[in-house]
Amino acid sequence: MSRKIYEALRWASSFLMEHKRDANAGELLLQHAVCMQRSQLLASMQQELTEEQETHFITMVEQHAAGVPVQHMIGKEQFYGRSFFVNGDVLIPRPETEELVWHTLEMAKKRLAAADQMVMADIGTGSGAIAITMKLEWPELMVYASDVSEKALQTAKLNSEALQADVHFIHGDLLAPFIEKNMKLDLLLSNPPYIPLADKKDLSPVVADHEPELALYGGEDGLDLYRRFSEQLPEVLNPGAFVGFEVGAGQGKAVAELLQQAFPQALIDVKNDINGKDRMVFMEI
């Protein structure tokens, strides 16, 4: 006889905890296996799973225990209240990046609202989460999104179409395509790779084995991309431009110093995330 929904959840919870995974992942996987929203699932605890549903669910739970991200199995992740397609070609959007967007909207809207057509770029867009969210939350922006990975851009385009966000996509490495086209930006956001190579051994297999290396590692100390940004930014920013970076915990001061060297007159602010870690650096020139 098949398990009931509450029995399946109880099994998944203990199985995942045994394998040092988040016990709550079982609920997301079961929602996917039975095609139910969370509220429906919670209202159907006594319902029996079909044999096919139970087999599918057990397989996914075992795969997650072995390190496959939940988001890769269900094919999506929530970001800023919207659902984004994700896969092995893009970094799975995270809550810290939602904070980067929230602070930018709070700060940049006040500073830039008086300008005419403002141009924004999301560099290393991945799934497109930052660019698409900014366009939908601030429709007046002209938004560009770039990535060095063609496959990442394909995923970002899928998301922009699904969410009906008018974002322009550019293939290229960091700011090179903007410099080549002599484009100027009023607002630049990026969540670049910032994990030091030495930390690779400490990462969960869910991240290390399944997320794109291109989106994770920032050289020996994790700061390589910020160094390159600091060299290139003076060529693309308009006067009064606003820049926001996500950084690794403990990197805020170093990134702020790199930016201050490039822009001695700029106002630079390191902000902590909800957990009290320095995860964002903002600059106004």
Query: Residues forming the annotated binding site for substrate?
Result: 191-194
* Angle subtended by helix axes 150-162 and 129-137, to nearest 10: 30
Residue numbers belonging to the annotated binding site: 124-128, 147, 191-194
In SS3 terms, 202-256 reads as: HCCHHHHCCCCHHHCECCCCCCHHHHHHHHHHHHCEEEEEEEEEECCCCCHHHHH
Residue numbers belonging to the annotated binding site for S-adenosyl-L-methionine: 124-128, 147, 191
In three-state secondary structure terms, 282 is: strand
Q: Which two structure tokens, joined as six digits, stand for 246?
A: 């996500």
Cα separation, 255 vs 216, in Å, equals 17
| Helices first, then strands: H and E counts in the chain | 12, 9
Contact in structure between 241 and 268 (CB atoms under 8 Å):
no
| Cβ-Cβ contacts under 8 Å for 128 (sequence gap 6 or more) | 84, 122, 145, 155, 156, 157, 159, 160, 165, 167
Cα separation, 107 vs 123, in Å, equals 19
